[in-house]
Amino acid sequence: MRNPFFAFFFLLFTLITSAQKNEYAITTISDSLKENANAVVRFDQTDILISSQRSMNIKNRRAVTVLNEKGFDATEAYEFYDKSTSVKNIEAVVYDAFGKEIKRIKRKDFKDQSVVGGSTLFSESRYIYLDYTPISYPFTVEFTSEVQTSSTAFIPRWMPLRGFYTSIEKSSLNVTYPADLGFKKKEFQFSGFNLKKNTDTNTQLSYVATNILAQKKEDYSPNYKDLFPKVMMGLERFHLEGVDGTATNWTDFGKWYSEKILAGTTDLPEETKVKIKTIVGDEKDPIKKAKLVYDFVQKKSRYVSIQVGIGGWKPMLATDVDRLGYGDCKALTNYTKALLQVVDVPSYNTVLYGDSYKTNIESDFVSMQGNHMILSIPNGNHYTWLECTSQDDPFGYQGTFTDDRDVLIIKPEGGEIVRTKVYEDASNTQKDSGTYTIDEKGNFSGSVSIVSEGSQYSSKARIEHLQPTEKESHYKEYWDNINNLKLGKINLTNNKENIRFTEEVQLSATNYATLSGNKMIFTVDAFNQNSGNVKRIRNRKSPFQIQRGYLDSDEIEINLPTGFTIEFLPSNFELKGKFGEYKTEIIKKENNKLIYKRSIFLYQGKYTNKEYDDYRLFMEQVARNDNAKIILTKN
């Protein structure tokens, strides 16, 4: 006889299990959260327990419904570990669109590999990640992990919304910590989001975020890190790389870092010391010495990419880099510093956020920050900055990866927040000079010299390393306004001494001009047209910014075909506004020649969402004038 209690229990268990599976069904997500979303975070709970100065435990439980192939990264199903950090638990469960479990993934099924494949220098720095190929969309990944670390110098920042096109049903943070470690926090961009601080005592902090709609990425908008809410956290008494630390200001922090983390990492073999002294010879000027050392490092070493914090904060020994010939940013910076010490040139490890998007070290929040390291050399009342990971950068050139931002210089006497080199708008130049000829059939032939400096050098210097087919693709895309383009001789000159990149290109095209009856029509500006493709965005929400200004100036000689006279020339044009200045001029010369002059000076700046339409209209006027036509009539 069937036991009625067992039957009731089995029915109840079945219902509960079914409910648990169905909570991830796509039908339970509100339409507003699906709008503009590639993924929906169903819940994301982070529990941080700091039990002492040398012990921190982080538990994550995160469920993400991936709506399409662009949304998989939002699962964030991975963890990093090294000699001071262990992954105690990691697993995932995959559910289909109806919330039915289709796969359970244990730790052994995760991929586990070095942060740099094949590297012995970083063999202890590894990461575990979910390698899952979806059967269909949508699906949901429930990911749980637990990490234990002795390093308390870097507390993960909380960002419930960590990218565009992702919405949040619920995200929460719970932090527990001893009252005597000097816990601190800094909140950013809370306004306009559904966030609530539940607890804030001398031992606990908690937040919850609910129903945050997916944010569309808008052209020229700031990075999501400067738009979405986040909380930075830190301790005044912490532990890092086996060493206790105490810091309430940047001076103390820098001194601790110098004495406890960097100390003992710059020894070099005698043979290398002799070699570098021989290279420097009798040179007395410290900057000229540094240039010789930098050239040596560029030729000897190569870079392996590991962000600061992932591969540890303590640089690898200079002797190891010298022996192996490669390293990450910390290792190569420290190696260069060690070589400079041999020839009596002082230099300092410098921590910063390296990215083409300018991001500052938060100067009013003393803590472990940054993802990159460079070297600073005192040079009078300023610094010369060395990007030690590059085998190509000119000495002292920062480009767009480390320019114009607050960084932390680590000196023996303490830390110092300093601004890196600012490339002023007027110094970010591109100068075009050239000539082109239109024949009686409307065919085009010409040559142009393009000289780029300042931040524009950074985007152009890479061209010399392109393969021939890549180079051709680059120029055909650059001059996509010229149909039937055929490239001739290309000569590139990289002047690293003056940090100037020159492109000399010969080019031709059939049917550049349009023939209609006895008339010929063609666009004056062949070499440097602005497409004006600034997208119209209705009801724009985010502010916009021009990260770097620039100054382009062109002077082109135009040879008109014989047997034609000018029927129409575009008028000279000038435009000035809050975003920049633009000017064109056409000068008639003898023998059917014209001189076309053009300049555009765009200002860097931050603007409100309301000003975006004004900028779009400004650039539309530039584009319209760049596309101005000449009309010729056949005699």
Indicate if the pLDDT at residue 307 is higher than 70: no
The pLDDT assigned to 2 comes to: 43
Indicate if the pLDDT at residue 500 is higher than 50: yes
CA 513 – CA 510 distance, rounded (Å): 8
The pLDDT assigned to 430 comes to: 98
| Runs of H (alpha helix) within 450-560 | 455-460, 468-478
Helix (H) or strand (E) holding 601: strand 593-602
More confident: 614 or 19: 614
pLDDT, tens digit, 9 for 90 and up, residues 30-77: 999 999 999 999 999 999 999 999 999 999 999 999 999 999 999 999
Q: Can you tell me the mean pLDDT for 540-557?
A: 96
CA 369 – CA 362 distance, rounded (Å): 8
Indicate if the pLDDT at residue 506 is higher than 50: yes
Q: Is the peptide bond before 138 cis (omega within 30 degrees of 0)?
A: yes
Q: Can you tell me the mean pLDDT for 78-99?
A: 95
Burial 242-277 (b: 16+ CB within 10 A, else e): eeebebeebebbbbbbbebbbeebbebeeebbebbe
The pLDDT assigned to 600 comes to: 98
pLDDT, tens digit, 9 for 90 and up, residues 166-199: 999 999 999 999 999 999 999 999 999 999 999 9
Two tokens, residue 580: 């920049």
Q: Can you tell me the mean pLDDT for 409-421?
A: 97
Q: Of 184-193, 223-232, 454-463, 528-537, give the lowest mean pLDDT range.
A: 528-537
HEC profile for 581-595?
A: EEEEEEEEECCCEEE
Give residues with Cβ within 8 angstroms of 99, minimum separation 6.
21, 22, 23, 24, 25, 28, 140
CA nearest neighbour of 550 among 449, 433, 453, 406: 453
The pLDDT assigned to 309 comes to: 58
The pLDDT assigned to 181 comes to: 98
Across the chain, mean pLDDT equals 93
pTM for this structure? 0.90
Confidence of residue 82 (pLDDT cuts 50, 70, 90): confident
Indicate if the pLDDT at residue 20 is higher than 70: no
Q: Can you tell me the mean pLDDT for 289-312?
A: 83
Angle, in degrees to the nearest 10, between helices 270-280 and 286-300? 130
Specify whether the CB–CB gap between 431 and 410 falls below 8 A: no
Indicate if the pLDDT at residue 18 is higher than 80: no
Q: Can you tell me the mean pLDDT for 485-506?
A: 97
Confidence of residue 314 (pLDDT cuts 50, 70, 90): confident
The pLDDT assigned to 12 comes to: 44
